[in-house]
Amino acid sequence: MAGRFEGKQALVLGVANKRSIAWAIARRLREEGAELAFTFQGERIEKGVRDLAESVGGHVVGECDVRSEDDLDRVFAATADAFGGGLDCLVHSVAFAAAEDLEGRFTDTPRDRFWMAVDISAYSLVAAARRAEPLLQARGGGSIVTMTYLGGVRAVPHYNVMGVAKATLDASVRYLAWDLGHSNIRVNAISAGPVRTLAARSIAGFTTMEEMFEQRAPLHRHMDADDCGAAAAYLLSSDAANVTGTTLYVDAGYHAMGM
């Protein structure tokens, strides 16, 4: 299995700290030979991301607020410069909703924060894929992976507007898979069970969610970020050459249960 990404280059969006799912994916890709580039979102986490990137010999191609067209243009231009004009893999692990919208009723979500959640969590994949397409084409094709959650297909208490954003993301994966398939670019999603990340802390009742998950998932065990890293490495590799438009559940089978 080692060496699946020798000579491959990947851009990773969404590393916040060493607990991030995006970081687990990046580490797995590096272990198998990939050269990596990272973005960061805001000065608060810049040093941490730079330190992590340095630990795997990666590039930091700049700050990226995914709502900013200028930031996205600059990041993908810098990626092209770092990687000689091409790209093999894009990892999109970006999502955000206001904390107050994950506590009360979904009905009370204000219009501006509704669209903010959809913009950051779903449209950002579309915007990134559009810019990645010519770089991936330059290598004869490639693969894109994003992170979703069961809350996009079922109502999960306290997930609220983020569930709507994930449903939009799920549909976007399918439409992007169709559009980009003509360029030999595959687009897939990973739906993980509860993983203790920085983002998870903002979900009210996360501890209860973990307890229910362990009780009801067929394998009766928790997930960790490395499980997602292994799944992403499969989807991004040539082992998944005919897999696109798909959501891979990495949740100990929880999604298969009715109760």
Catalytic site positions = 149, 159
User: Using CA atoms, how far apart are residues 3 and 22, in angstroms rounded to an integer?
Assistant: 20
Instruction: Indicate the burial class of 182 (C-beta count within 10 angstroms; 0-12, 13-18, 19 or more).
Output: exposed
Instruction: Kindly provide the b/e burial profile for residues 24-37, where b requires at least 16 CB atoms within 10 angstroms of the residue's own CB.
Output: bbbbbbbbbebbbb
Tokens for 23, please give them.
């970081």
Tokens at 103, concatenated: 């506590």
Q: What is the separation of C-alpha 13 from the centre of its chain, rounded to a whole number of angstroms?
A: 7
Three-state DSSP class for residue 109: coil
Look at the alpha carbons of 93, 70, 41, 12 in this order and tell me if their dihedral is positive or negative: positive
Q: How far is CA 254 from CA 56, 92, 134, 232, in A?
A: 33, 23, 37, 19
- Please work out, in degrees rounded to the nearest 5, the angle formed at the alpha carbon of residue 221 by the alpha carbons of 217 and 224: 115
- What are residue 142's DSSP bridge partners? 185
